[in-house]
């Protein structure tokens, strides 16, 4: 039989509903594709998505750094330190910070307390823990109000990147760049800087009534201004904390 005749017969059987090797014609009970049940393949539990893996790695890093730093800075609030580490990690990952130094200001603490910490993230140690001022219109001993507006004489919260140094009316000072839109991004134009001030020392004469207040700057004692500024200048992260809506809106605290 010629090949073209064989192909014609095969095509005819296909039109009539038979499939090779003509199982219907032979009375086979083979099920059609619609009835075939594929095996229930479940993903392997170790095959995580890249996003989930990144989240897990970040959380592991935060947990590890928290343990190392908390052992040396027992007076820092657990939640504040974890938030600061999360923000620091995100700021470095997005290219905003190059220097492996993290400064944390906890404005929820009274100014009578040492509420500024400077951490060496490379060596996992505390460089400084001292007093820091808040703006005169942010409150008395306790700061309760913050602003991003020029002339407010209030402190700003959020994530900052340190800039360059200069000598001004307050002596050796450090410029700050606010990285949170609408929260602290006017810091540079407001001249919110780190500087030294006699009123920012934690002398016993001020212990009960808090240290002096600035025009919005995080001022430190004159004796510590230079070593602190030199440790944190040139693209390190400052995390200034106070509870509020900005926390849930901050891009530095989201995955």
177-227 pLDDT, tens digit per residue, is: 999 999 999 999 999 999 999 999 987 446 567 899 999 999 999 999 999
Query: What is the reported pLDDT for 54?
Result: 56
In tens, the pLDDT along 92-110 reads 999 998 899 999 999 999 9
Distance CA(2)–CA(25), nearest Å, equals: 23
> Which pTM does this prediction carry?
0.78
Q: Which residue has the tokens 């170790």?
A: 46
Q: Are 250 and 159 in contact (CB under 8 A)?
A: yes
Kindly list the structural domains of the chain, giving each domain's residue range(s) and its CATH number in brackets, ordered by start: 50-253 (2.40.440.10)
Cα-Cα-Cα-Cα torsion 156, 158, 164, 169, nearest 10 degrees, comes to 10
Averaged over successive runs of 10 residues, the pLDDT of the chain (255 residues) comes to 53 50 42 45 51 64 97 97 97 93 98 97 97 97 97 98 98 98 98 97 69 96 97 98 97 89
């Amino acid at each position: 039989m010629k090949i073209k005749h064989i192909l014609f017969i095969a095509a005819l059987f296909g039109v009539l509903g038979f499939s090779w090797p003509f199982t219907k014609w032979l009375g086979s009970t083979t099920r059609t594709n619609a009835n075939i049940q594929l095996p229930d393949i479940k993903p392997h539990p170790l095959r995580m998505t890249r996003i989930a893996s990144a989240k897990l790695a970040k959380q592991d890093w935060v947990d590890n750094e928290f343990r190392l730093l908390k052992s040396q800075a027992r007076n820092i609030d657990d939640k504040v330190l974890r938030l600061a580490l999360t923000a620091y990690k995100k700021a470095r990952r997005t290219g905003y910070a190059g220097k492996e130094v993290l400064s944390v200001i906890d404005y929820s603490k009274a100014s009578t307390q040492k509420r500024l910490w400077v951490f060496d993230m490379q060596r996992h140690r505390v460089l400084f823990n001292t007093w820091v001022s808040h703006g005169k219109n942010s409150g008395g001993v306790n700061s309760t109000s913050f602003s991003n507006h020029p002339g407010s004489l209030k402190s700003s919260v959020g994530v900052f990147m340190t800039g360059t140094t200069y000598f001004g009316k307050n002596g050796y000072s450090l410029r700050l760049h606010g990285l949170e839109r609408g929260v602290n991004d006017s810091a540079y134009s407001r001249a919110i800087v780190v500087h030294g001030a006699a009123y920012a020392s934690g002398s016993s004469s001020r212990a009960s009534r808090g240290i002096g207040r600035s025009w919005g700057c995080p001022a430190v004692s004159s004796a510590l201004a230079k070593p602190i500024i030199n440790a944190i200048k040139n693209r390190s992260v400052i995390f200034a904390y106070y509870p509020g809506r900005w926390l849930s809106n901050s891009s530095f605290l989201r995955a």
